[in-house]
Every structure is written in structure tokens, then in C-alpha cells.
Amino acid sequence: MIRFTKAKPPPKKPKKQPGGKKATLNKLKSFLTAAEPETVEILVSNWNAQQNSVTYKELREAYLAGGLTEKQFQKWQKDYSKLVTSTLAPKWQAAADAAAQEVKAQYPYFVYEPSVSASMDFIKQHGAELVTNLAQEQRDALNAVIAHCSGYTAVTPDEAARMIRPCIGLTKPQALANARYYDTVKAAYIKAHPKGKPETAEKKAQEASARYAARQHRYRAQSIARTELAYAYNAGAYGATKDAQAQGYIGDCMKVWLTAYDERVCPICSKMDEEKRNMDEPFSNGKMLPPGHPQCRCAVAYEEIEGTNLNPAPQAGTMDVQGQPQQQPQTQPPAAAQPVQPTDPNHPPGHSHPERYDLQRTRQSRRHRENVHLRGCRRARVVIQTRPEQERKAGDVQSLLAGSRV
């Protein structure tokens, strides 16, 4: 029996990316590739330090109380605030500065001041939101693990503390996945070794859970690093463009949402490709700027509307380093033609006073004779210094001077 099936259509090829907009995405990608690894290590080290700072006694008390205490939550919130202020904020500022350099490259006399730039408002506001979100996510994750452990009557407070500790720094779904993985490894070991000790099964499960948590921490660190750096980069480009508008270099602009133009683009962002909005208008997803979601690779390009720059800034070369316009030299009108005077063979043209010219000639002759005398003295000193010590002591200095003049 022959069965006929409908042929599947070939996969759609990704759209070709416009040349000018491709450079914007490539610059963002290059920056993320260079800056992301260091940020990942910083986040992982911070979570490891938080795990080591919490004792098993505190975790047992949290398990018996049914959740983390407010004191521990406030402590973690302070840790995240310090992390963002001292470590992550400089990384974000570097990302914003890198994006602003693209605007400065087009307008060499454009003045970009990071401390008062429009991008700093985005960074400060987003930094405060990140501190709150990280602390709250960590609290929800550990409370979920505590609730998961409480459903098993065989789990002791000590074992629950060992299950909770590796989950510090994970999100709620990640923490629950880790706790279930712990249960699966423990049950598999007990099934394979019916006569084994329960302590051995717990140890095996704890080691496997810790390795799994390390991979989860690194994955989450990569997600946070990529998302936050991309956010800061796009905010820097937006702030620099707004500053250039305020200084008169750019008129009104339209911001254009750009996707990565490959098969990995998510359905959320693929619908927004080439979507245009005004500078102060949000896109259709409610975002002012990318990223639209965690690990988003989108960027924004800015297209100036022709004829909207009514007060253009001075051209290159007319502003100083501080961005202040320089005074242009006033052009003098051409002088009237002077009548040609008869030339005197004893006085060159241009000297209307022969007496001054004769005095000038006399002074020049006098300086010439003095210079000749000084050069002769210098040559004499050179001769004296280069002769042997015996000849210098026996010779007559005055005769040498006289001979040098000759």
C-alpha cells in the first residue's frame, strides 16, 4: 500500500540584514563577548560568598520556622545593593560609554558627560529595581525549597539545611528543580543499594545537587550579565542620542528595533523587527529599549528625520574642548592700494624714513661685530679644552685668543 503525504515547505531563510543596521548589532555583540565573562565570575563569586556566610544553624532555624527571617532577607538585600553599587554599576557605565562613543565618532565636537547624561537615569533606576528583584527572587526560591522539604516527614532539619544551602542564588524554578533532583538521586541510590546506609545516600545526593547547582548558578549569571550589559549599552546609545539632540547636532529621530536576523530570534522579537517609534514613545511590547526579555540580543538604531534640526550646532572646528563655541576671527576689508613711490638706491622700498633705516643698519652692523667676537672666543675655548694638559699649562691664553680671531 502506498501512502502519500503532503510535502513540508522548506524552512524560511532569515531576512538579509541592512548594511548600516548590521554594524549596530555587531558592535553590541562584540561588546557583550568581551565584557560578559568577567561579570559572570563576579556574580558566581557573590553567590558562593553568600552560601559560605550562612551557617547550617540559621538554615535549620529557617526550616523549622517555615521560611527565611526578615533579618536574613535584609542582609541579602544589603549584599546585593553593595554588589550593584560597587561592582556592577561601573560595568554598566562602561557599556553606556562604549555606546556613546559611536555618537561621538560621528560628531567629534559632541560633549558627552556620563554623570549628567540621560543614560544615567536609566542605569540608576534599573539598578535599584535589580537589587529588589534579586533579593526577592532569592527569598521566594528558598521559601519554596523549605515548603518542598516540609512535605517529606522523613527529612530532618539537618538534611533540609544541606538541601537549602546550594540553592542560594537560584530562582524559584531552579531551586525546585534542584530539590527534586536531590530527591531523585537519593531515591535511585537507595533502590540500587537496599542495604546501604541512609547517610551515604544523603551524601551522594548532596554532592550531585551541589554540582547541578553550580551549573545552574553559571547559567543564571550568564543570563543576568548578558541582559544587564545589553540594557546598559542600549541605554547609553539612547542617552547619547538625546544629549546630541540637546546640543543641536541631531534633529528629531525615530528609533528602530533591530533583531539578530537569524534562526535563533524568538517569536516575541521577530514580530517587532524594523518597528519604529518616536524617541519618547514605547514599543509595542511596552519597552522603551531592548532587551525585551532575558538574554535578548536586540538593539536599537536611530534615524534622523530630515529637516527637523532647526538650530544646528556649529560645524567642526568652531567649538572648544568644553563644547563652547569659539569666537570666529573677523575678516578685515582689503586695504586700499598705495601709490607706488620712486625707489632710492640707498634705501629699499617700504622705508618712508631714511634716518630710521640708517640707524637700523648701524645697530645690525654693531651686533654683527659683537657676534663675530663671541664666536672667536668660543672657538678659542674649544681649542684650549681639546689640547693636552701640558700644552694648556705652557701656552699663552691671550695669544691663542688673538690667533683665533685671525
Q: What is the pLDDT of residue 123?
A: 72
Write the pLDDT tens digit of every residue in 71-80: 888 999 999 9
Is residue 211 a contact partner of residue 242, using CB atoms and an 8 Å limit? no
* Residue-level pLDDT at 147: 92
What whole-number distance in Å separates Cα of residue 304 and Cα of residue 229?
26
Q: Is the pLDDT at 355 greater than 90, yes or no?
A: no
How far does CA 263 lie from the centroid of its chain? 28
As a whole number of Å, the CA-based R_g of the chain is 40
Q: How many residues comprise the chain?
A: 406
pLDDT of residue 384: 45
- What is the model's pLDDT at position 184? 94
Share of the chain above pLDDT 70, in %: 69
Q: Which residues of 239-248 are buried (b: 16+ CB within 10 A; e: fewer)?
A: bbbbbbbebe
Q: State the average pLDDT for the chain.
A: 79
pLDDT for 323 equals 47
Q: What is the pLDDT of residues 198-248, one digit of tens each?
A: 899 999 999 999 999 999 999 999 999 999 999 999 998 998 898 888 888
pLDDT at 379: 52
pTM for the full model?
0.70
Residue 31, amino acid: F
In this prediction, residue 220 carries a pLDDT of 96
Q: How many helices (H) and strands (E) does the chain have?
A: 12, 3
User: What integer pLDDT is reported at residue 382 of this predicted model?
Assistant: 44
Asked whether residue 266 carries a pLDDT value surpassing 50, the answer given is: yes
The predicted pLDDT at position 40 comes to 95
pLDDT tens string 143-165: 999 999 887 767 888 999 999 99
For 44-64, write each residue's pLDDT tens digit. 999 999 999 999 899 999 998
Candidate from 74-83, 117-126, 297-306, 386-395 with smallest mean pLDDT:
386-395
Mean pLDDT of 351-357: 52
Name the grid cell of 15. 531576512
Pick the residue with more confidence: 111 or 83?
Answer: 83
Q: Based on the number of CB atoms within 10 Å of its own CB, is 89 exposed (0-12), middle (13-18) or buried (19 or more)?
A: middle
pLDDT digits (tens, 9 = 90+) for 339-349: 545 555 555 55
